[in-house]
Structure 1
Amino acid sequence: MTDPLNDDRDWLILLRTPGLTARRLREGLVARGNAASLLRWLARHPEALDAEGRAWIEQPDEPTLAGDLAWLAGDRHRLLRCTDEDFPPQLEAIADAPAALFVKGDAALLLRPQVAIVGARQAREPGLANARRFAAELATGGLLVTSGMADGVDGAAHEAALDAGEPTIAVIGTGPDRVYPRKHHALAQRIAAHGAIVSEYPPGIKARAHHFPQRNRIIAGLSLGVVVVEAGQRSGSLITARLAGEQGRDVFALPGSIHNPLAEGCHSLIEDGARLVQRPGDVLAALAPAAMELGAELRARLEGGGPASTATAGASRRKTGSFDWRQDEEYRRLLDVMGYDPASLDALVGTTGLSPGALSSMLLILELEGEIAVLPGNRFQRVV
Structure 2
Amino acid sequence: MESIEAGSAEERDLASDSESISAGAGPGCSSDSAIETLRLAMLPGIGPRTLTALLESFGDPASVFAAPDHQLASVHGVGPKVITAIRSAKDTIDVDAIAHWCRRERVEIVSDESDHYPRMLSDLPDAPPILFVDGQVIEEDEIAVAIVGTRHATVYGLKQAEHLAYSLSRAGVTVVSGLARGIDAAAHEGAMAGGGRTIAVLGSGHGQIYPKEHQGMAKAVAAHGAVISEYPPYAKPRAGMFPQRNRIIAGLALATLVVEAPDRSGALITARIAMEQNREVLAVPGPVTSRASRGCNQLIRDGAKLIQSVDDILEELGPMRSPVQTADGHQVRNAAELKLNELERKVLGAIDPESTPIDQVIQRSGLPAQRVIAIISVLEMRRLIRRLSGQYVSRI
TM-score, normalising length from structure 1? 0.73
DSSP 3-state at the match of 2:257: strand
Partner of 1:295: 322
Counterpart-to-counterpart distance in 2, 1:139 and 1:19: 39
DSSP 3-state at the match of 2:206: coil
Partner of 2:278: 248
Counterpart-to-counterpart distance in 2, 1:31 and 1:72: 29
Task: Note if 1:229 corresponds to 2:259.
Answer: yes
DSSP 3-state at the match of 1:251: strand
Indicate how the Cα distance of structure 1 residues 42 and 120 shifts in structure 2: closer, same or farther if over 3 A, else same: farther
Q: 1:203 aligns with which of 228, 233, 245?
A: 233
Partner of 2:56: 30
Counterpart-to-counterpart distance in 1, 2:292 and 2:127: 30
Counterpart-to-counterpart distance in 1, 2:131 and 2:341: 32
Q: 2:95 aligns with which of 65, 73, 86?
A: 65
Letter in 1 for 2:305: R
DSSP 3-state at the match of 1:162: helix
Counterpart-to-counterpart distance in 2, 1:51 and 1:63: 16
Task: Note if 1:39 corresponds to 2:65.
Answer: yes
Counterpart-to-counterpart distance in 1, 2:242 and 2:65: 29
Structure 2 gaps, min length 5? 1-21, 25-30, 343-396
DSSP 3-state at the match of 1:294: strand
Letter in 2 for 1:294: R
Counterpart-to-counterpart distance in 1, 2:142 and 2:184: 19
Partner of 2:297: 267
Letter in 2 for 1:40: A
User: How far off is 1:24 after superposition?
Assistant: 2.3
Indicate how the Cα distance of structure 1 residues 366 and 263 shifts in structure 2: closer, same or farther if over 3 A, else same: closer
User: How far off is 1:363 after superposition?
Assistant: 5.5
Partner of 2:36: 10
Q: Identity over aligned residues, as a percent?
A: 37
Task: Note if 1:127 corresponds to 2:167.
Answer: no
User: How far off is 1:171 after superposition?
Assistant: 0.5
DSSP 3-state at the match of 1:177: helix
RMSD of Structure 2 on Structure 1 (CA): 3.0
Counterpart-to-counterpart distance in 1, 2:310 and 2:127: 29
After superposition, residues 174-189 of structure 1 pair within 5 angstroms as 174-189=204-219
Counterpart-to-counterpart distance in 1, 2:239 and 2:106: 28
User: How far off is 1:43 after superposition?
Assistant: 7.1
After superposition, residues 273-312 of structure 1 pair within 5 angstroms as 273-287=303-317, 289-290=318-319, 293-296=320-323
How many residues get paired? Answer: 310
Counterpart-to-counterpart distance in 2, 1:234 and 1:145: 24
User: How far off is 1:44 after superposition?
Assistant: 8.2
Worse-matched range after superposition: 114-123 or 32-41 = 32-41
Partner of 1:324: none
Matched-pair contact (CA < 8 Å) for 2:40–2:51: yes
Matched-pair contact (CA < 8 Å) for 1:86–1:111: no
The structure showing larger relative contact order (alpha-carbon pairs under 8 Å, at least 6 residues apart) is 1
Matched-pair contact (CA < 8 Å) for 2:44–2:85: no
